Amino acid sequence: MLERGVTEASASTIWRWLHDDALKPWQQRSWIFVRDPAFAAKAGRVLDLYQRRFEDRRLRPDEYVICADEKSQLQALGRKHASLPPAPGRPGRFEFDYRRNGTLAYLAGWDVHHANLFDRVEAKTGIDPFGRLVEQVMSVEPYASARTVYWIVDNGSSHAGQASIDRLEGAYPNLRLIHLPIHASWLNQVELYFSIVQRKALTPNDFDTLDALGSRLLDFGTHYRQIAKPFEWSFTHTDLDRLLARLDEHRPLLAAA
């Protein structure tokens, strides 16, 4: 502004004006507004399952809740120079330049109430890879003979729509597929596990081969099963109702804008 002759104020003065101003147009945050008319019902059903309730009744001891999803296109990035581990007073260091050594997919199912983890590595995501994860769970006890196993999934192509319900519930009579609302993966507890994987197993990304990446993922899964505990999930159906009520208050403002 000073160079263009707009103002004679110094840069520090301009910065102070901008910092103190109530409106900061350079600060923006993206978000997705709730568009699914059945959002409350779909999300509420999932939150009730987390509290061991379904359709206004308590779950029986032989009913289980599994959250499942995939991390797709995980890259094996081989660093061009060896990484240095952290040392006292010095963070770990890894080379910026890398070689692309391919991608794979990591699939996981998480028993919400019993902290049982099932995981597998596949070349890619899809109906068949996800079906193998389901078989991995449903072929062992206590799930094979359970009264009902509720599978909570998002709307990814591997398990989307009525076709996925027909396919999986047809293959396993005691399986019940529960879809989250669109853009509500944050309600899927397996995403908490994936965030741990990202921080503990995939950072930094330094893998010379896909086999090395796959082994790291499966080894971490083996380790995590030894220490796993149910997540302390605190967002309830009541919290959801309050959140949606607050969002409804903004609808007239958005419509007018």
pLDDT in tens, 34-60: 667 788 899 999 999 999 999 999 999
Per-residue pLDDT of 163-211, as tens digits, reads 999 999 999 999 999 999 988 899 999 999 999 999 999 988 888 999 9
> What local confidence, expressed as pLDDT, does residue 144 receive?
98
Residue 194 within a domain: yes
Token pair of 200 as six digits? 């503990």
Residue 81 within a domain: yes
* pLDDT-wise least confident of 20-24, 58-62, 127-131: 20-24
2 pLDDT band, cuts 50/70/90, is very low
pLDDT for residue 94 is more than 80? no
* Rounded Cα distance, 225 and 219, in Å: 10
Residue 189 within a domain: yes
Residue 6 within a domain: no
Alpha-helical segments (H) within 96-228: 127-138, 161-171, 190-200, 210-227
Structural domains counted in the chain? 1
Q: Give the domain CATH number at 230.
A: 3.30.420.10
- Residue 91 belongs to domain spanning: 39-256
Q: Are strands 57-58 and 53-54 parallel, antiparallel or unpaired?
A: antiparallel
Give CA separation, 140 vs 37, 127, 193, in Å.
37, 21, 22
Residue 13 within a domain: no
161 pLDDT band, cuts 50/70/90, is very high
Residue 137 within a domain: yes
Residue 59 within a domain: yes
Residue 5 within a domain: no
pLDDT for residue 137 is more than 50? yes
Which residue carries 């072929």 as its tokens? 139
> What local confidence, expressed as pLDDT, does residue 247 receive?
74
